[in-house]
Structure 1
Amino acid sequence: MAVQKIKPTTIEEYIHAASPAVQEKLWKLHACILKAAPGASEALKWRMPAYSYDKILVTFAVFKNHIGFYPMPSVLAAFTKELSSYQTAKGSVQFPIDKPLPLPLISKMVKFRVKESKEGIIKWRS
């Protein structure tokens, strides 16, 4: 009989479903986001952990060699210099699994999204 994979329904289940080697990083990322966005609601959106006020602030996802962090293009534009050593795309940045997470930088990016949310210029819907 094959073992049935359970589809995560919470951020905690998502983190527990990751490989043990990555779980510690994900717990730190989760805590960092919550500290930078106090009171943010938590959910899975597009099968990724998502943190929102009235609209989504940030999401992340685990891949084989990196953690994808999705803070939106406005954040990447604001933090271009700080993100220069990471692979980025239009609205995402890749943090290599084999390197420490830049938690202070992640905190600044989340706080930037919180500021955008408070100013009403945030684009993602929850």
Structure 2
Amino acid sequence: MKTYKNFEDYFSYFDKEIIEKLEQIRTEIKNEIPEVEECIKYAMPTFTFKIKNLIHFAAYKNHIGIYPGSEAIVVFEKELENYKTSKGSIQIPLSSELPLELINKIANYRKSKILQSTKPLQISGSI
């Protein structure tokens, strides 16, 4: 498996058209959730939020893969019906426009799930 240092290193392996799509995803998510951090995980560009994986994405010969996890695929099933999906992935054909609004909704959904999972426990009742 190829090791990449950062997003730029990963992007540099692709042609201009694919780089533009990858940069669009990067820009949209960073604009939508400025607190995200960039890293490479599983040899893919990954955004983390509060040290948890928010979303991964990657380029392939015929599509861009978005990896938000299986729960997000179920939650957005109706909006994803025009795309090939599997348990935790979405395939967006290179020949189509990126659904940036939908990608933002999915990223925000993941952010809300991370925030829910990192809330301190609330203890109720009296001693």
* TM score, norm. by length of structure 2: 0.86
Match of 1:26 in 2: 22
Instruction: Give the superposition deviation at 1:7.
Output: 4.9
Structure 2 unmatched ranges of 5 or more = 119-127
Match of 2:35 in 1: 39
Letter in 2 for 1:78: V
Alignment of 1:38-117 (within 5 A): 38-53=34-49, 54-117=51-114
> C-alpha separation between the residues in 1 aligned to 2:14 and 2:87?
26
Question: 110-119 or 13-22, which moves further after superposition?
Answer: 13-22
Structure with more contact order per residue of length (Cα contacts < 8 Å, sep ≥ 6): 1
Q: Is the 8 A contact 1:37 1:111 kept in 2?
A: yes
Structure 1 unmatched ranges of 5 or more = 1-5, 122-126
> C-alpha separation between the residues in 2 aligned to 1:35 and 1:73?
24
> C-alpha separation between the residues in 2 aligned to 1:111 and 1:104?
11
User: Percent sequence identity over matched residues?
Assistant: 34
Aligned equivalent of 2:5, options 9, 18, 21 = 9
Q: Is the 8 A contact 1:70 1:93 kept in 2?
A: yes
1:118 equivalenced with 2:115 (yes/no): yes
Q: Which runs of 4+ in 1 moved over 6 A?
A: none
Aligned pair count reads: 116
Superposed CA RMSD in Å reads 1.4
Q: Per the alignment, in what secondary structure is the counterpart of residue 77 of structure 2?
A: coil
